[in-house]
């Protein structure tokens, strides 16, 4: 069995195992797994509206996954994507509502504002890591809570005491009548193209630039990089800044595309934390993040149809979705198993 065949079999077997174990959980819980999976399928691909909403759900997951993956590739663990996403969301909505400009100027500025806000939120843990060796995981976790409460305070301030910002100007919106009509009036917007463009940007930075080489080198071995003449501290800060910019753009997808405003949050959106799973599923590669986000976004949105269409409680649905993702993430174990099986056959 060639390595190519093994690489093709691993994800297929992973998904099948996840579906089988998920079916067993539903069966033992007293629910019909066939109806459950039909409802899941229809929730993702049932009609053009479901497809549009699924793609819309995937957009912020791609960017959140890129944010985590970029940090991982450069030797850092950015667990603060959630907070960076929230400040990016607020910045995009504020700039989108506060100014009246032509779309060709307004929309890029709002996207830049989101990226800049996320980058600034990533700058703080980057500086602390580079100068004082404070672990980025601790700082970014705390920065998530700071972001949550700061953003809620800012929303109340700019809205005059309300818990919701003003709607953004049409010139700052990512909404698309064409895409909406194409998908039976779903909330699908141009954000998916922004997300895919950022996939190319991440690949280009890491694989085709001197800066990307230095960032990866510092991530692999700080001492060797410093010995080679690289500025280790600068690269640590730059890595967190770029990662934060991706996360800020993920917030812009929600603010400029899905909602058009921002409401005070009672808790975290969850997108930033899910981005960790997306990055790991995609093996921290730009292309892999697309597939990881597609699987995660599809399951997340499609699962919403299971309680309505199959009368399966949300708790069981969450277990089933988690099991599918778990087995996909355990692909390495399946790969080892297939390789050992192949060696036994060759020995015979």
Q: What is the pLDDT of residues 322-345, one digit of tens each?
A: 888 888 777 778 778 877 877 777
Q: What is the DSSP letter of 172?
A: G
Q: What is the DSSP letter of 164?
A: B
CB 119 within 8 A of CB 248: yes
Write down the pLDDT at residue 9: 76
Write down the pLDDT at residue 265: 93
CA neighbor of 153 nearest in space, from 252, 84, 247, 86: 86
Q: What is the pLDDT of residues 31-88, one digit of tens each?
A: 999 999 999 999 999 999 999 999 999 999 999 999 999 999 999 999 999 999 999 9
Write down the pLDDT at residue 211: 96
Write down the pLDDT at residue 110: 98
Helix (H, G, I), strand (E, B) or coil at 76: coil
The domain limits of the chain are 58-292
Write down the pLDDT at residue 50: 96
Q: What is the pLDDT of residues 277-327, one digit of tens each?
A: 899 888 899 999 999 999 989 999 999 999 989 999 988 988 988 888 888
Q: What is the pLDDT of residues 108-161, one digit of tens each?
A: 999 999 999 999 999 999 999 999 999 999 999 999 999 999 999 999 999 988
> Which residues on neighbouring strands pair with residue 263, listed in sequence order?
164
Write down the pLDDT at residue 348: 64
Q: Assess whether pLDDT exceeds 90 at residue 179.
A: yes
Comparison of pLDDT for 102 and 12, the residue scoring more: 102
Structure-block tokens of residue 154 = 């800012």
Whole-angstrom distance, CA of residue 177 vs CA of residue 183: 10
Q: What is the DSSP letter of 166?
A: P
Give the side-chain half-sphere CA count within 13 A for 37.
16
Q: What is the pLDDT of residues 215-273, one digit of tens each?
A: 999 999 999 999 999 999 999 999 999 999 999 999 999 999 999 999 999 999 999 99
Whole-angstrom distance, CA of residue 194 vs CA of residue 19: 32
Structure-block tokens of residue 204 = 């280009």
> Which residues on neighbouring strands pair with residue 164, listed in sequence order?
263
Could you please report the per-residue DSSP string of 271-330? Answer: HHHHHHHHHHHTTT-HHHHHHHHHHHHHHHHHTTHHHHHH---HHHHHHHHHHHHHHHHT
- Other beta carbons within 10 angstroms of residue 138's beta carbon come to 13
Whole-angstrom distance, CA of residue 119 vs CA of residue 74: 16
Model confidence band, residue 11 (pLDDT cutoffs 50, 70, 90): confident
Whole-angstrom distance, CA of residue 29 vs CA of residue 24: 8
Q: Assess whether pLDDT exceeds 70 at residue 95.
A: yes
Model confidence band, residue 347 (pLDDT cutoffs 50, 70, 90): low
Whole-angstrom distance, CA of residue 13 vs CA of residue 60: 28
Q: Look at the block and give the residue holding tokens 């934060």.
A: 244
Instruction: Report the pLDDT averaged over residues 28-32.
Output: 93
Instruction: Report the pLDDT averaged over residues 172-197.
Output: 96
CA neighbor of 16 nearest in space, from 330, 339, 305: 330
CA neighbor of 40 nearest in space, from 322, 337, 317, 347: 317
Q: How many helices (H) and strands (E) does the chain have?
A: 16, 0
Helix (H, G, I), strand (E, B) or coil at 189: strand
């Amino acid at each position: 069995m060639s390595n190519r065949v093994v690489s093709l079999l691993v994800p297929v077997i992973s998904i099948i195992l996840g579906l089988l174990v998920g079916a067993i959980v539903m069966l033992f819980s007293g629910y019909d797994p066939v109806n459950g999976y039909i409802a899941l399928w229809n929730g993702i691909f049932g009609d053009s509206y479901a497809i549009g909403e699924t793609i819309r759900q995937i957009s912020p997951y791609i960017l959140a996954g890129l944010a985590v993956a970029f940090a991982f590739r450069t030797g850092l663990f950015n667990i603060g994507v959630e907070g960076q996403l929230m400040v990016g969301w607020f910045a995009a909505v504020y700039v989108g509502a506060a100014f009246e400009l032509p779309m060709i100027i307004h929309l890029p500025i709002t996207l830049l504002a989101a990226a800049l806000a996320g980058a600034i939120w990533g700058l703080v843990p980057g500086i602390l890591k580079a100068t004082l060796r404070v672990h980025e995981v601790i700082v970014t976790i705390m920065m998530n809570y700071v972001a949550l409460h700061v953003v809620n305070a800012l929303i109340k301030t700019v809205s005059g005491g309300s818990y919701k910002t003003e709607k953004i100007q049409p010139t700052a919106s990512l909404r698309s009548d064409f895409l909406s009509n194409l998908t039976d009036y779903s909330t699908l917007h141009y954000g998916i193209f922004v997300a895919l463009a950022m996939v190319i940007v991440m690949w280009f930075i890491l694989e085709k630039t001197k800066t990307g080489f230095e960032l990866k080198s510092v991530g692999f071995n700080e001492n060797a990089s410093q010995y080679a003449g690289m500025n280790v501290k600068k690269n640590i800060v730059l890595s967190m800044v770029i990662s934060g910019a991706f996360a800020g753009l993920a917030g812009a997808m929600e603010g400029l595309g899905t909602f058009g405003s921002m409401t005070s949050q009672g808790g975290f959106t969850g997108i930033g934390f899910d981005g960790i799973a997306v990055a790991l599923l995609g093996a921290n590669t730009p292309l892999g993040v697309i597939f990881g986000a597609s699987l995660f976004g599809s399951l997340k949105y499609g699962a919403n149809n299971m309680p309505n269409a199959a009368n399966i409680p949300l708790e069981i649905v969450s277990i089933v979705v988690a099991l599918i993702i778990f087995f996909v993430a355990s692909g390495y174990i399946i790969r080892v198993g297939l390789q050992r099986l192949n060696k036994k056959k060759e020995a015979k």
